[in-house]
Structure 1
Amino acid sequence: MNTKYFKYLFMGLSVASLTGCNDWLEEETPGITRLDDYFNTGSQSAAESIVNAAYTPLQWDFGSTYCAEWFIGDIASDDALKGGQNIADGGDYYDIDNFKVQADNDMLLNYWRAQWTGISRANLAINKLPELKADDLTEALRTRLLAEAHFLRAFYYFRLVRVFGGMPIVDYIVDSSNKWYPVRASVDDCYDFIVADLEEAEKGLALKSAMGPDGLGRATKGAAQAMLMKVALYRKDYPTAKSWGEKVVKSGEYDLFGDYYDNFTLPGENGIESVFEIQYMEDDMSDYGGFGFTRGTFTQILTRSRSNNLGGGWGFNRPTQNLYDEYEPADPRREMTILTPSPADMTNEAEETYCGNTYISKKQGWYNKDNTFSALAHHSRGPLNNRQIRFSDVLLMYAEALTEVGTAADLATAKTLLNRVRSRVGLAPFPYSATIQKTTKTFTDTQADLRAAIRHERRVELGMEGHRWFDLVRWGIAKQTMDAYIAQENDEAKQQWGTFVEGKNEVFPIPTQELQLGKLTQNPNY
C-alpha cells in the first residue's frame, strides 16, 4: 500500500476533520458517510459487500505493470523462461528470471501493493463486522464472514512472507498516517500470526458442500485446513502438517477429476478437485486499466502463443526444456501442460522463439486439450480462474508430511497418496523406474526415494501453476537446483543468467517506494 491508496481510503474522513476560524469549515460535507455510521446502520448486504471487497485484490494482476504471482513462481524457477517478443520485452520479468532483480522492480511493487490492499480490507472487516448492527444479519452469517476475512488476511500475508520475508504485522485499521508502518516482524512471528488467523477461520468457515452455488469461490473450511498444512510444511512442522492434511483428505469434500485436463477448463471451475481458486469472468467491457478495472485476468493473453494461429497472445512464461524432460514419456500431463507449436503454427518464427525456446504454457493460456482455443471477449482479459489449491496438491503435501514424519504406517499411507495422483494419469505406482531428464531413474522403496518421488510428482502434476519456485525455496534446494538447471541450458539462455546468491535470492527486495515511506528495512544483500 502507498500514500495514494491511503488517500483514497480515508479522503472522506480527512474532509470531515478540517477545522478553522470560519464556521463553514466546521460544517460536515453533505453526503459523507462516516466509517462508524456505516457500521452502525448497515445491513446484511453491507456486511457481505465489505468482505467481498477483501476478495477483490486476489484478482489483481495489473497495476502499472503486470504482477501475477506466476512471474515469480514459474519464471524464477527452472520451469519457465520469461518469454515475450524478445529479451527486451518486460525488463522487470527478465530480472526476476535471471536473478538480476533490484528494489525498483515495478512488478514486485505492484504485487506488494495488491496484497497490502487485501490486508487493509480484511482488517476493516475483522475490526468492524462485530460492531455492525443489522436486523437482517444473523450471527451465523456474521461468524462465517468474519472467518472469511481472517482467511483472506492470512492468505495475503502468506503470499507476502514467502516472496519478501518478514512483514509488519498490522491487525488494525490504518486511519492516520502515523499508524503506517510499524517495523518488520520476523518470519516466525508472521507465521504465528498467519496460523492464528487460519485457525480462527477454520472454526467459522463452512464446508464446501454447504456453501451452495452462491458460495462458489469463497473460502471454505477445507481451504483453511489446506493452508494450515501448507504453512506447517514451510515451518517444517510435519506432525502438524500431517494432522491438517488428514482432515482435508478424510472430509470427503474433494476428489480428483477423472480427466486431469478438466482442471484447466471453464466447466471444471470450482469443481470436485478445487479447494480454493481465484475467480475471474469474461468481461467484454474491460480495458487496459489497473487495479480494480476489470473482473477478467491478463494471464490468458500474457501466456498465449504470439502466433495468430494459436491465440495471438504475448508469449510470456515459456516452459523450459528442463521441465519438458522431467515428464516421463508416457505421462499425458506433459502434452496438457506444454504446447509445442509446429512450424506451420508460427506466423513469425523469430518473434515466437525466445532463447531458442518455442514452448507455450498451455494450462493458463486457456487452450483446449487439442490445442484449439476460445476467443477472448476483450483482447486484454480472460475468464479462466486461477487454481490456487487443487486436491492433487493437497494429496502431495499430505504425502510429503507423512514421509517426513516417517513411521512405517505413515510411509505406507504416503505411497498410497502418491500413487493415487499417478494412477489418475495411468502411470506406474511407486516404487518404479522411468525415463526422467533423458536418463533412467529408479525410485526404490526407501524414505529418501519416496521423498524424491513426491518432489518429482509435484513438479509434473503442478507444472506451470506457479508452485515450483516456492517449493524449491522451502525445500532448501533453490541454489543447487537453479545452478544445475542453468548449466544445461542453451548458450543463449546462459548469456542472460545472473548469479544466484545463497542467503539473498531466496527472497526478493522490498520495493524502494515502500522503503521511502519510513520504517521498513531492506532484505540482506540488496
Structure 2
Amino acid sequence: MKISKYILIGLTAAFSFSCEKDLEQVNQNQIGSDQYWQTEEDLADGVTGIYNRLLRDGAYMRTLPSLQDGRGDDITSASPWTIYPLTAKFTVQADYDVLQWPWRDFYDLIDKANSVLYYAPEIEFEDQDYKDRQVGQAYFLRALAYFTLINNYEQVPLVLEPALSRDEYYPETATPEETWAQIESDLLNAKELLPETYVGVSGADNGQLGRATWGAATGLLGKVYMFQEKWSDAEEVLGEVIESGVYSLVPDYADNFTMNNENNSESLFEIQFGNFGTDGNWVGASTSNWRQGCAINFNYGIGAFGGYTDLDISEWIYEEYQQERCVDGTLDPRMYTTIVSYEEEYDTYTDGRSNTIFETNPWESGVLSTDEIYIGKYTYARIPGYTIESDGILGASTINYRVMRYAEVLLLYAEALNELGNTNAAYPYIQEVRDRANLPDLATEMPNMTQAEMREQLAHERALELAVEGIRFFDIQRWGWLYDSEKLEELRAHDSEFDTWTEGNEYLPIPQVELDVNSNLSPNSSN
C-alpha cells in the first residue's frame, strides 16, 4: 500500500494520510467569494486547490512533459497521435486543441493562486507563521506556472488578481520582461515566507511532505536567473541552497524516478501523484472520485507492455551515455534508469542491473528486438512486481514527477561560476554529480578547461543527468543553439526532427481559441 503521499492534492477540507480515504471536495463556485474566504481553513483549502491543478492533463499528468520532452534532442516522436510528431518537428498549428490544455490548466492554477493572495490579507489566523506558509505556497506555485507558460508560449498575459468584473476577463499580453520580473518577485516573496521543512512547524501542515519549501523557491529563483543570464544573482541564490545543507544527492540515481523514496533529500519540488479513486484526471474537471494519478508512463512506455510508445529515446543520447565508462569499466548507471535497451554486459554485472524488464527478458523471448531502445525513466519497466505499465490502469501511475532536483542545482551553480569566469571553481560541483555515477575525476581527465570548453562539458553533463525530465529543450533554447548555425547542424545530426525547425517556431503557438475570444491577446512568433 502506498502511504507516502503526505499531501493529497485535491479540493479537500483536510489532508489525508491514508490512500483509502476519499477526498471530499468543496466546490467554491457554489457560494460567493465574499462568503467563502472567511477562515484560515478556507485559505488552506484554497492553497490545496492550487496544487490540484498540477495534476491536470495539461499540466504534469501527461501532456506538458510530453510536449516539452518531445522538442529535445534526447527524445524522438513515434506517436500516431499527430500532436507529438508535429510539436517535435516544430510544425504544429495554433488550432490544435491539445495546445490549449497547458494554457488552460496553468491559468486555472494562476486564478486559484490569485484568489488566495487577494483574500489572504483579510483573513485572521491565530498563527501568523501558518498564514505565511499559505501565502508563500501561492506565490511559489504562481511563479512556477508563469515560468512554465513563458518558456512554452514566449509571451503571455500577466494576470495577478482574480477577475471580479467582465472587463477583466480579457487581459492583454505582457512583455516577456514584465513576466520575468513578476516571476522573480513571486519567488522572492515565497523564499521569505516558506520554511526549509514542514517537520516541526506549528499548524495543520506539520510534517506534510510535498509542499513548496524555501529550497523549492530558492532553487527555482536561481534557475530563473540562469534563464535570463543573471549569472551573479544565480550564483548567490544557488549558493544559498548548497550552503544550507538541507539537500544532498541520494546514493541511487534510480530512487528519483520510482514511487519509493519520494520527497527525498535530493528533491526540491515534485508533483505528488497517487491512485485514490476510479475516475481518471484527464481532460475534464476533477470529480469526487478523482484518481490523481499520472499517465506519463503510458506515453513513454513500451507498446508490448501496455505503453503507447508515443515518444522514444534518441540514438544520440543513447550513444552519449557510452562516451565515458565508470571507474570500474561498467556503463553509466544513469543510462540503465533512463533507457531500456539490451546490453549483453548487463547480465555480467553484480550491482543489480540486468536485461530483465517487467519480470521477463523480452529480448531472449523475441518480444523485443535487441536493436530497439526505449524510454525507461518514469515508466514501470524496471520496477519489481510489474508485468505491464501501471497494471494497465490509465492515469494510475503513482510515480511523482520531479520538477527540480539538487543535482540540477549543482550543475546550474557550476554553470554560473563558469559564466562568471571562475571555471576552475566549477569542477567540484560537477564532480559531485559525476561521483554518484562513479565516473572518473573530471579535473584529472580534463584539467584547466577554457570557459568555452567547460560550456560544452556542462551541456554534456546536463544531458546525461537530466535526460527525459522536461529540461533538455529549454537548455537548447536558453543557450541560443537554434540560432547558432553550427549548433543547429549538431542538433539536426542528433535528431532529424530539427530539420523542420524555422525561426520562432521553437515555441508552442498561442492557442487559436484563446486568440479568437480575446482580442487583447497578441500572437507569438509561432502563430
Which amino acid is 1:229 matched to? G
Partner of 2:181: 192
Partner of 1:398: 413
Give how far 1:517 is off: 1.7
| Distance change >3 Å, CA 39–CA 283, structure 1 → 2 | closer
Distance 1:349 1:82 in 2: 24
Give how far 1:130 is off: 1.6
| Distance change >3 Å, CA 209–CA 256, structure 1 → 2 | farther
Alignment of 1:39-54 (within 5 A): 39-40=37-38, 42=39, 44-54=40-50
Alignment of 1:511-522 (within 5 A): 511-518=511-518, 519-522=520-523
| Distance change >3 Å, CA 357–CA 205, structure 1 → 2 | farther
Determine whether 1:107 maps to 2:98: yes
State whether residues 286 and 380 of structure 1, in contact with CA within 8 Å, keep that contact through their aligned partners in structure 2.
no
Partner of 2:69: 74
- SS of residue in 2 equivalent to 1:339: strand
Give how far 1:508 is off: 2.0
Give how far 1:62 is off: 5.1
Q: 1:258-300: CA deviations, max 9, x gaps? A: 1111111212210011110011012351337424343101112
Partner of 1:268: 261
Partner of 1:389: 404
Distance 1:448 1:329 in 2: 20
Distance 1:511 1:130 in 2: 35
Match of residue 424, structure 2, among 412, 416, 426: 412
- SS of residue in 2 equivalent to 1:516: helix
Higher Rg of the two aligned structures: 1
**Structure 2: which 5+ residue stretches go unaligned?**
1-28, 326-331, 343-354
Distance 1:56 1:108 in 2: 20
Partner of 2:319: 325
| Distance change >3 Å, CA 32–CA 302, structure 1 → 2 | closer
Match of residue 113, structure 2, among 122, 147, 151: 122
**Structure 1: which 5+ residue stretches go unaligned?**
1-30, 434-441
Partner of 2:23: none
Distance 1:49 1:106 in 2: 31
Which amino acid is 2:250 matched to? F
Which amino acid is 1:326 matched to? E
Partner of 2:394: 380
Give how far 1:372 is off: 6.1
Determine whether 1:339 maps to 2:340: yes
Determine whether 1:315 maps to 2:309: yes
Give how far 1:446 is off: 2.1
Partner of 1:437: none
Distance 1:95 1:453 in 2: 31
Determine whether 1:146 maps to 2:163: no
Q: 1:228-265: CA deviations, max 9, x gaps? A: 10110011000000000110001111000111111112
Alignment of 1:239-278 (within 5 A): 239-278=232-271
Q: 1:452-511: CA deviations, max 9, x gaps? A: 11111000000111100001001111355454333465xxxx5x7652123x12322100
Distance 1:57 1:288 in 2: 10
- SS of residue in 1 equivalent to 2:403: strand
Distance 1:337 1:388 in 2: 16
Determine whether 1:363 maps to 2:377: yes
Partner of 1:506: 506
Partner of 1:486: 492
Give how far 1:334 is off: 1.3
Partner of 1:21: none
State whether residues 148 and 205 of structure 1, in contact with CA within 8 Å, keep that contact through their aligned partners in structure 2.
yes
Give how far 1:366 is off: 3.0
Moved more, 290-299 or 203-212: 203-212
Give how far 1:324 is off: 0.6
Which amino acid is 1:512 matched to? Q
Give how far 1:188 is off: 1.1
- SS of residue in 1 equivalent to 2:93: coil
State whether residues 402 and 414 of structure 1, in contact with CA within 8 Å, keep that contact through their aligned partners in structure 2.
yes
Match of residue 461, structure 1, among 461, 465, 469: 465
Distance 1:188 1:422 in 2: 36
State whether residues 304 and 360 of structure 1, in contact with CA within 8 Å, keep that contact through their aligned partners in structure 2.
yes
Q: 1:41-75: CA deviations, max 9, x gaps? A: x2x32221100101111111259x98532223211
Give the aligned length. Answer: 464
Distance 2:309 2:64 in 1: 17
- SS of residue in 1 equivalent to 2:172: coil
| Distance change >3 Å, CA 403–CA 254, structure 1 → 2 | same
- SS of residue in 2 equivalent to 1:69: helix
| Distance change >3 Å, CA 468–CA 200, structure 1 → 2 | same
Distance 1:377 1:220 in 2: 33
- SS of residue in 2 equivalent to 1:215: coil
Partner of 2:479: 475
Distance 2:44 2:94 in 1: 37
Which amino acid is 1:524 matched to? S
- SS of residue in 1 equivalent to 2:229: coil
| Distance change >3 Å, CA 474–CA 373, structure 1 → 2 | farther
Moved more, 207-216 or 411-420: 207-216
Moved more, 372-381 or 321-330: 372-381
Identical positions, percent: 29
| Distance change >3 Å, CA 262–CA 196, structure 1 → 2 | same
| Distance change >3 Å, CA 204–CA 288, structure 1 → 2 | closer
Distance 1:314 1:211 in 2: 43
Distance 2:465 2:65 in 1: 16
Q: 1:327-385: CA deviations, max 9, x gaps? A: 135222112210026897279999x89xx983221111133368966762661021100
